[in-house]
Structure 1
Amino acid sequence: MTIDAPVNTPLPAPPPNLLLTAPIVPTLTRLAIPNIIAMVGTAVVSVAETSYIGRLGTEALAAIALVFPFAMLTQMMSAGAMGGGVSSAVSRALGAGDRARAEALALHAVIIGLCGGLLFTLIMQLFGRSLFMLLGGRGDVLEQACSYSVVLFSGAVSIWLVNTLASVLRGTGDMVLPSATLLVVAVLQIAIGGTFGLGLFGMPRLGMPGVASGQLVAFSLGTLFLLIYMASGRARVRLRAGSFVFERRMFLDILKVGAMACLAPLQSVLTILIFTKILATYGTATLAGYGIGSRLEFLLIPIAFAVGVASIPMVGMAVGAGQVARARRVAWTSGAASALILGVIGLVLAIYPALWVSLFTADPAVTAAAHSYFHWAGPAFPFFGLGVTLYFASQGAAKVGGPVLAASARLMLVAIGGTALMISGAPSWTLFALVTAAMVVYGLGTVTAIHLTRWVK
């Protein structure tokens, strides 16, 4: 004989949301570590690609300097900008206890990812050559840039979908699976790109298109895995395509953060593009040297991203639950951590730039230009990290206007100051000093903007 439980037996209390209650520093560290490991994979990809592109010649290095800003713009917009908007919306919904809304937001995010990837493919296939020519690409440098770009951007949809789905998972507080996926993608990208780029293991030597094929294949496989995983129901937020209903307010919840946030990486890339255009007038060696330096600058963004993206669900859930004071503490803590990490990197490379430069070239002129860049820009890296990480934290609060304006100030300083220095015939080191000033303005401007912005639920 069984005894039924009383009808009025209270349901067990839901488990506490540790992102709202746990100590900030240990929780932020726990969330950031998987991202840092994944970003190390990204850094290894960049080092490996630049290394075997260097074996293809100085023209190939100059070509990658032309394409790299657009490739990173794809990553930054899909993972850091629109991806931050996705994580913010999902985390705020979960913080308010609305799981159904979080799942609906995930499906709308996938649609945004598809559209974003298709847009990048269309733009770069139609206008890539013209853009590279505007940056000063000519002759064999231009042709190699175009051959790399055609293959790379034919897979822009996969890049956007991997980063969008990873951002949904991060919004739930899961940093491990997205990071593990990106790490595997990085390993595949190195193996495939190196094999076909250099013709290893008896494969045909395809050069720059072969290098780009690594990213195309790796991200396509990553997209397939994440779609299957999230449709299986093992994630905290499940993709339920069968119950999808188009809701304008869901798109607006993501885009009010993501669309505005996309201006920041666009401005960052415009800053690099303007600078690349100016330095192209100083010769191929200077351009290639700056390409080596700017490649590391772009790698600093993923490092700051690793810390900043860990703060998004903590800030978003705290704001969704009305814990605004905790949200702001998370933001300042993450910004300080990022500034410390990038400060150490900047100091080391300002003193010993050969640690990075010697990986890619032995050409004396290229080496001299790259060393000059690091001597000037290295000390400003902590300000850059501070600004980037606080930009991500502000996404969690759906308040990105101030950090975007700080990026605008950096862009204007480089554009106006760089043009003036070029017209006056100033030496290249003065342009690298301008990079330092622009990073400081960006970091301090972002701090000021967040300090003055009121965060509310």
Structure 2
Amino acid sequence: MLKRDLTVGDEKQILISQTLPMLWGLIAVMSVTIVDTYYLGLLGTHALAAMGFVFPVVMFMNSLSFGIGVGASSVIARAIGSKQEDWVRNYSTQALVLALIVSLLFAMVGLLTVDPLFRLLGAPDDLLPYIHQYMDTWYWGCFLIVVPMVGNACLRAAGNTKIPSYTMTAIAVINLIIAPVLIFGLFGLPRLELQGAAIASIIAYFSAMVVTLYVLYVKLHFITLKALTSQIGQSWKDILHLAVPASGTNLISPISIAITTRLIATYGSEAVAGYSVASRIEMFGLMLVMALASTLAPFAGQNWGAQKIERLRRALRLSFVFVWGWGLAMAVLFWLAAVPLTQLFTQHEAAVQASVTYLHIVPITYGLLSTIMIVSSMANGIGQALPALVMTVSRLLVIYLPLAWLLAQQWGLNGIYIATAAANALVGFGAWYWSTHACNKREAAISVPA
């Protein structure tokens, strides 16, 4: 089934059937990061610390592509819900064009600014050669990463999470095979270290791009030559109306991480390495929530477009109950297993301590952080990107960064991590309230006679 109507059927079963393939795909893609972290950790603390500085820049690019994907997914899902097939094709085609243009511009700027950018992030001069090894290659191939990400968003809007899952699994398998060969120079190949990790990722994502474009063009006919020149202005306007604030929402996160990395860098490269490891462990702990949030966006879009608000309300209730329980389970797991999990990636005592401290403090608020993720996805799905932006700005810029700076003066790294937890908790409650209010308002508007 290449397309699925999400406006009919049992909400719980739909969420489960859509989330599980998405979860598997996310596990696969995030394993790329984990695999690279493990292998690069074998190269030493300098390589691992370099990736800690690289991480927010890579996230910045991912945030731009995510924003375009959010805009495309929302307008496509609502077009499907309201049976506007021509607009489905226009939006899908132009979203991929936008993704290509944005990624190429980003790469051009990035290649010209490696040294000043990473010095601004706090990277010491002895790490810059390691950073160049990765970024000088990664920038050239970043468009191969962005295009399949946006293409998968188009597929999810059609209620298809299986094909994105398959392509993401292919990325993981190819990277798992190629990365150690290129990093360590196996089978007679040159030892490329961080550059090898970048090349392996690019090759893996290239395979995903080929599959995604094939499905969209040949199987679903979401991409057409006619749509390349049809309704360009309106398509870009509708996509960017959501993509710009959605990108802004997601750009705040890597910017915040970059500033946090600079704060943590004052405690040494080992502290940055530990924070980098903890961030990757956290990503795995929240993968199921990410998968559910990704599923909820097209579900919300199709049902909002079809004016089936009670279905959306029930789906939100189910989602909240689940993520609150999951957040509690992850908090307990990370409290008990923080040390052995961290030691999978580094044995350096200072780095281990920095990671363990994070995993003992921040996961306490995973349930409320998950609430923010669910509600932000729902807001983007229904075409209201501003609330998601407000939630992110409030959490990271208004609450977290000032509080992190203040508490760091008193408690060092612990203060930075406590600020993270406090921001998650405060905004999480606000996100839950907004979602309830939005559904009530939409339902009341529908019930008023025209």
Provide the TM-score with structure 2 as the length reference.
0.92
- Code of the residue aligned with 1:330 in structure 2: it is A
Unaligned runs of 5+ in 1: 1-15
Q: 1:69 to 1:381 in 2, by over 3 A?
A: same
Unaligned runs of 5+ in 2: none
How far apart are the structure 2 equivalents of 1:243 and 1:406? 35
Q: What residue number does 2:314 align with?
A: 329
* Structure 2 SS opposite 1:352: helix
- Code of the residue aligned with 1:240 in structure 2: it is T
For residues 212-270 of structure 1, the C-alpha deviation after alignment (integer angstroms, 9 at most, x for no partner) is: 111111112221222223221x22x4311145314322122222222111122111112
| Equivalences for residues 263-412 of structure 1 within 5 A | 263-299=248-284, 302-412=287-397
Pair 1:43 & 2:30 matched:
yes
* Structure 2 SS opposite 1:262: helix
The number of aligned residues is: 438
- Code of the residue aligned with 2:34 in structure 1: it is V
For residues 72-122 of structure 1, the C-alpha deviation after alignment (integer angstroms, 9 at most, x for no partner) is: 23224323x321221111110010011121111111111111122113212
Higher helix share: 2
How far apart are the structure 2 equivalents of 1:313 and 1:349? 31
Q: Which has the larger radius of gyration?
A: 1
Q: What residue number does 2:56 align with?
A: 69
User: What's the offset of the Cα at 1:18?
Assistant: 4.4
* Structure 2 SS opposite 1:55: helix
Pair 1:53 & 2:40 matched:
yes
- Code of the residue aligned with 2:311 in structure 1: it is R
Q: 1:173 to 1:62 in 2, by over 3 A?
A: same
How far apart are the structure 2 equivalents of 1:167 and 1:58? 36
Pair 1:180 & 2:176 matched:
no
Q: 1:163 to 1:420 in 2, by over 3 A?
A: same
Across the aligned residues of Structure 1 and Structure 2, the Cα RMSD in angstroms comes to: 2.0
For residues 335-383 of structure 1, the C-alpha deviation after alignment (integer angstroms, 9 at most, x for no partner) is: 4433433432232012220242011011111111111111111211222
- Code of the residue aligned with 2:10 in structure 1: it is P
Q: 1:26 to 1:351 in 2, by over 3 A?
A: same
Q: What residue number does 2:20 align with?
A: 33
Pair 1:114 & 2:95 matched:
no
Q: What residue number does 1:241 align with?
A: 225
Provide the TM-score with structure 1 as the length reference.
0.91
For residues 32-61 of structure 1, the C-alpha deviation after alignment (integer angstroms, 9 at most, x for no partner) is: 010000111123222211100101110011
Conserved? CA contact 1:113–1:161, under 8 Å: yes
For residues 136-190 of structure 1, the C-alpha deviation after alignment (integer angstroms, 9 at most, x for no partner) is: 1113312211221121122121111101111111111111111101110121122
Q: 1:298 to 1:141 in 2, by over 3 A?
A: farther
Q: What residue number does 2:242 align with?
A: 257
User: What's the offset of the Cα at 1:289?
Assistant: 1.0
Q: What residue number does 2:405 align with?
A: 419
How far apart are the structure 1 equivalents of 2:4 and 2:247? 30
Conserved? CA contact 2:60–2:255, under 8 Å: no
Q: What residue number does 1:9 align with?
A: none
How far apart are the structure 2 equivalents of 1:441 and 1:122? 39
Match of 2:118 among 132, 146, 156: 132
How far apart are the structure 2 equivalents of 1:243 and 1:270? 35
How far apart are the structure 2 equivalents of 1:68 and 1:298? 13
